[in-house]
Amino acid sequence: MTAATPSAAVDVLFARRLPKIELHAHLTGSISRSCLHDIWADRKTRDPQLELEDPFVAMPPGKVDYDINTFFPLFSSYIYRLCNTIDSIVYSTKAVLQDFQRDGVVYLELRTTPRRVTEQGISKDDYIKTVVAQLREHNRDKSNSLQAFLIISVDRRNTVAEAEEAVDLAIKYQPDGVVGIDLCGDPAQGDVRIYTATFARAKAAGLKITLHFAETENSASDEELHTLLSWQPDRLGHVVHVNDEIRKAIERQDIGVELCLSCNVLAKMITGSYSDHHFSVWRHSTVPVALCTDDVGVFCSPLSHEYYLVAKHFGLDRHQLKALSEGAIRSIFTGAEQQSRLSKIFSDWIDDTIRA
Ligand SMILES: CNc1ncnc2c1ncn2[C@@H]1O[C@H](COP(=O)(O)O)[C@@H](O)[C@H]1O
């Protein structure tokens, strides 16, 4: 069958079977509610005085209407307080890797912000070391179909010294699977200009750069966007509030975009719904496009569902959806070895349901 022949309509099962590449997933935001509940139940058994609410109460099943004002406090006021031991960090990281794998994700670049838990004696280095060790253990197990790598996040609330510490950790753990550095956090906070030298140092050390870009109007001033583009990022996340001039600059610099439809729709970061999403613009651009989940633990839409939604709202058939998924190979941060592994996965993947 030729590529021009239309293939059968996409359904959820097809989207799940399709090999997928996830490039924009925040570790703590990717922990499912049932995993959070397991952690809570274990802690409650050991310490009946524990004052934290059950995750099923704090984040009721089915609740996905977190907006930009209620979303960020969820981490500092709840999830970070729950997942604050080495055991819970290990348990939740393993669960996140398994969840992505079960959803048909074959390559994952997970990102996380170095976190200190003073009361447990956990340093930022301990935190990153623990996460990196889980990824390495997962990758070593040949029975796993998913390979995972780490991106270290700088939070927009960080001081320059904290951002420098994040880059130090990224450089230290580069030989163990850290591939890049990210700028994330509440877009209403901070002045990105203070990190220019820090990101230049990361780039000079061979780390790739991805940035949350124009997520809200607050973080989409010309000055901020030109500053971020001057860091020569390799990928950009969200790219919601961009005008034609910025869009052309992104295309000129051939920067991959990470698009998070459900997050943008549910958190009301765009006006309208799925069919109004700026995927409609980027799908026709020359830059690589990766559909991503952002925070599947909060918005509850796994990557397969994001692919399904795109097929449904933008009329992509099975061939087009496979081509979209495969296209993300171009913007992975690890290089030739993983690129050829992924190309082989896609060329070997014959879905007998792809037929006219
Ligand atoms: C709406 N989309 C988003 N925009 C910006 N930053 C986000 C985000 N989703 C998550 N984070 C950032 O990731 C942290 C949680 O994961 P880690 O503890 O790092 O693994 C959040 O505290 C926030 O800073």
Q: What gap in Å lies between CA 99 and CA 130, rounded to an integer?
A: 19
Q: Judge whether 356 lies within some domain.
A: no
- Tokens describing residue 60: 């009721």
Q: Judge whether 264 lies within some domain.
A: yes
Q: Judge whether 3 lies within some domain.
A: no
Q: What are phi and psi of 89, to 5 degrees?
A: -70, -40
- If 0-12 CB within 10 Å is exposed, 13-18 middle and 19+ buried, where does residue 38 land? middle
| Domains in the chain, number | 1
Query: Which stretches of the chain score pLDDT less than 70?
Result: 1-6, 352-356
Q: Judge whether 344 lies within some domain.
A: yes
Q: What's 47's domain CATH number?
A: 3.20.20.140
Which atom of ligand 1 is closest in space to residue 295's alpha carbon? 9
Predicted local distance difference test score (pLDDT) of residue 2: 47
Predicted local distance difference test score (pLDDT) of residue 351: 77
Helices (H) and strands (E) in the chain, counts: 17, 8
For 251, the domain range is 13-348
- Verify whether ligand 1 is closer than 6 Å to residue 131 (CB atom): no
Secondary structure (3-state) at 268: coil
In this structure, are residues 123 and 89 in contact, taking their beta carbons and an 8 Å threshold?
A: no
| pTM, entire model | 0.97
ipTM of this complex prediction, to 2 decimal places: 0.99
Q: Judge whether 2 lies within some domain.
A: no
- Verify whether ligand 1 is closer than 6 Å to residue 212 (CB atom): yes
CA of 26 to the centre of ligand 1 (A): 6
Is 215 part of the annotated catalytic residue set?
Answer: yes
Question: Of the residues 22, 215, 258, 306, which is catalytic?
Answer: 215
Contacting residues for 175 by C-beta, under 8 A, at least 6 apart: none
Q: Judge whether 340 lies within some domain.
A: yes
- Verify whether ligand 1 is closer than 6 Å to residue 29 (CB atom): yes
Tell me which of 88, 113, 218 to substitute to probe ligand 1's pocket, judged by most ligand atoms within 8 Å of the beta carbon. 113
CA of 282 to the centre of ligand 1 (A): 23
Contacting residues for 284 by C-beta, under 8 A, at least 6 apart: none
Q: What gap in Å lies between CA 318 and CA 18, rounded to an integer?
A: 9
Q: Looking at ligand 1, which residue's alpha carbon is closest to its atom 12?
A: 185
- CA atoms 288, 184, 128, 296: torsion sign: negative
Q: Judge whether 58 lies within some domain.
A: yes
- If 0-12 CB within 10 Å is exposed, 13-18 middle and 19+ buried, where does residue 67 land? exposed
Q: What gap in Å lies between CA 17 and CA 168, rounded to an integer?
A: 38
Q: CA–CA distance from 157 to each of 56, 75, 153, 193 (Å)?
A: 29, 14, 11, 13
